[in-house]
Structure 1
Amino acid sequence: MRVPNFQLFAEWLQGIGIFIAGMIVGAAVFMAMYVENFDYLVQQNEILKEDNEQLKEQLENHNLVKNPTQLKAIDISIHNPPSYPDLDDLTITQLQKLAREELKFMIGQEIKRLEPEHIKRLFGKKVFALEDGKASYVVEINSIFIADTEMRIWLWANRYMPAS
């Protein structure tokens, strides 16, 4: 009985090995792209949830406050100077939510009684911890503008480094 030549099978095994290695590399690339897209979708979902909560709160405030001389809404923006590090969208959204909760006691107050300098001193420099608990930020008011029944606040936010 004759044993078949293994040289024929060696060429086939090389091709099959290259094909399987290609499948593994392709699966790894696909999973990396999938995870990246899924992380992006989760962040956008969180941002949209926060925006939805903010809009519901604004609608509730507009319905509760009937007097046109009272503050109905607080709009918060975070614009850092170039010397500060850039913040991602999810961090900005969470910091805006925390600052809005800190200042929401002013809704319903008489507009003529709200002094921007007094609000700046009252707010000061706050340290806000994000919901995930991984980072804290020092937030301070840069400027305030009050018009009609809305107050617009611009904040600066920088990473909090506790003194050791």
Structure 2
Amino acid sequence: MRIPAFNRYRRGLAGFGLFLSGMVIGSAVYMSMHQHSYSIVHEEKERLKNENKNLKEDLSKMNTVKNRQAYISLISVDLETDSKHPIDPKSESEIVKAVKTDLEALRGKPVARVKEDLQLFRKLIDNKVYVDIFDRDYVVNVKSVVVIQSELIFYITAKEPIRN
């Protein structure tokens, strides 16, 4: 029995190898693009889920004190980021959540007390270090405190402490 010469198939095998490697590389590029798109959608979903949860909490808390207009019924925290040292969105949401938790004791207090005890309210979170937020520490500073009707708004900044 005669075996055909391998030289006849060499060119075809090289073409098949290139075709096969092109398929592998193309599928890898497609999967990386798909995974990147999925990551973006997942982050947006988590952000919207947190926002929905916060809005539901605010709504339930406002319903408990809706008849008491002279009392603080809603506490908002606005984190202003520094353009030189930006904070990632997940850390921002964790910092805001931690500050809101610390300020929760102010809910239901008379609005008139804000004017009297403004410095006390500021000192609750001013220069406070929030430890271990995604393996980092942040120092929170209060820029301003605003009261609009029954809503208490804290404008804060956060940055990583300087370590020696």
TM range (shorter): 0.7 to 0.9
Shift, 1:18, TM fit: 0.8
Which residue in the other structure is 2:77 paired with?
76
Residue 94 of structure 2 corresponds to 94
1:144 paired residue number? 145
Structure 2 counterpart of 1:122: 124
* Alpha-carbon shift at residue 146 of structure 1 (Å): 0.9
Could you list the per-position Cα deviations for residues 92-119 of structure 1 after superposition, in whole angstroms to 9, with x for gaps in the alignment?
A: 2221111111111111110110143322
Contact 1:50 1:97 in 2 (8 A): no
Gaps of 5+ in 2: none
Pairs aligned (count): 160
CA distance in 2, matches of 1:31, 1:125: 45
**In 2, distance between residues paired with 1:87 and 1:29?**
30
Is the Cα contact below 8 Å between 2:69 and 2:150 reproduced in 1? yes
Shift of 1:7: 2.5
Aligned to 2:160: 159
Q: Structure 1: 5+ residue runs without aligned partners?
A: none
Q: Is residue 103 of structure 1 aligned with residue 100 of structure 2? A: no
Q: Matches of 2:29 and 2:5 in 1, distance apart?
A: 38
Q: Is the 8 A contact 2:72 2:107 kept in 1?
A: yes
Farther-moved stretch of structure 1 (46-55 vs 98-107): 46-55
Alignment partners' CA distance in 2, 1:37 and 1:126 = 37
- Per the TM alignment, residue 162 of structure 1 is displaced from its structure 2 partner at its CA by 5.5
State TM-score, norm by structure 1.
0.85
1-structure distance, mates of 2:37, 2:13: 36
Q: Distance in 2 between matches of 1:161 and 1:42?
A: 33
Q: Report the CA distance shift for 1:26/1:135 in structure 2 as closer, same or farther (over 3 A).
A: farther
Q: What is the root-mean-square deviation in Å for CA atoms of aligned residues?
A: 2.0
